[in-house]
Chains A and B, each alone.
Chain A
Amino acid sequence: MNRQNGLLEEIYHRYRRELFACALAVTRNSERAEDAIQDAFYRLFRQRRIPRNPKAYVFRAVRNAAIDLLRKRPTAEQEVPESLFDPADGPQDFTERREFQRRVETALHTLSEDERETILQHLYADLTFQEIADLRDTPIGTVTAWYRRGLEKLRTRLENR
């Protein structure tokens, strides 16, 4: 148990940002994403055995916790959607860059859940299509289709501003 918890701690430190991005892609709220990570690790630390691929297992646990949390506490309609991107993105924060960030965010909200989640997990949680497919128990062809379709929609929306 102690050795297993050491491994979980190592995974947490190595993929902390990616796990957060994975949870945020589902919850779209940073507080809830953190709650999901906390819930998942609470359970993982008390688990007897972790399967052979611990990284995939931890990502799946965090994603499932995020979905559970969203089911228990659905987003209220009056809740202001939080920015997915860092609000203080460096000193070279030009208006143009801010504008691009805002447009991407708006365009992302028009995508389907699957398309948006896949794009965010692939680009910001650094998960491969195979890893996303394993995470979601979905064929890899479906995952790549979601990604390509989502990206195409994003391109169209960003061009027709």
Chain B
Amino acid sequence: MMEPLEIQLKTLKFRSPSSTLDDRVLGQKPPKSFFPHIESVSISLGWVTAFALLMGMIGFVAGALWRGPSAALDSPSREIRVIYNLPPSQNPFILTHDSDNIPQIPAGKWEIHIQQSGGV
């Protein structure tokens, strides 16, 4: 039950908001999402990390199976041996010969051996 003073006060018209308020308030609404159902799903950082680790492990195992059981762990190595054979008369390290007249690159025979060990 209202008192006479309350009724009297109620007759006074309270100030109204300006006409621009609607634009100011509703204009700041974020744009509508194309995927509202996805947007509302929250995923914890822990699950994302666990999923990334699992995918990494699956990738590693798949790679190992594709290349062979030990391929993923072993890296292939190759041994290269280069032998340069000089005729004995032109060998500068045999000091019984005269080494002054030996050309910069004396004629000789090159042999290259490539040996592969381990891996594929």
Interface residue ranges, A against B (CB under 8 Å): 1-3, 5, 9, 12, 16-17, 20-21, 24, 30, 33-34, 37-38, 41-42, 45-46, 82-87, 89-90, 100-101, 104, 119-120, 123-124, 151, 154-155, 158
Contacts and interface: CB of A to CB of B under 8 A. Distances in A.
B29 A124 contact: no
A1 B15 contact: no
Contacts of A42: 28
B39 A123 contact: no
Contacts of A2: 32-33, 36
Contacts of B24: 34, 38
Contacts of B22: 16
Interface of B: 3, 5-6, 8-10, 12-18, 21-22, 24-26, 28-30, 32-33, 36, 39-40
Nearest to A40: B25
Contacts of A104: 9, 12
B14 A124 contact: yes
A9 B17 contact: no
Contacts of B36: 1-3
Contacts of A124: 14
A41 B25 contact: yes
Given A1-B36, A2-B33, A155 B15 contact: no
Nearest to A38: B24
Contacts of A9: 26, 29
Contacts of A46: 30
Given A46-B30, A151-B3, A37 B25 contact: yes
A155 B5 contact: yes
B25 A38 contact: yes
Contact of A45 (B5, B28, B40): B28
B34 to A, nearest CB: 10
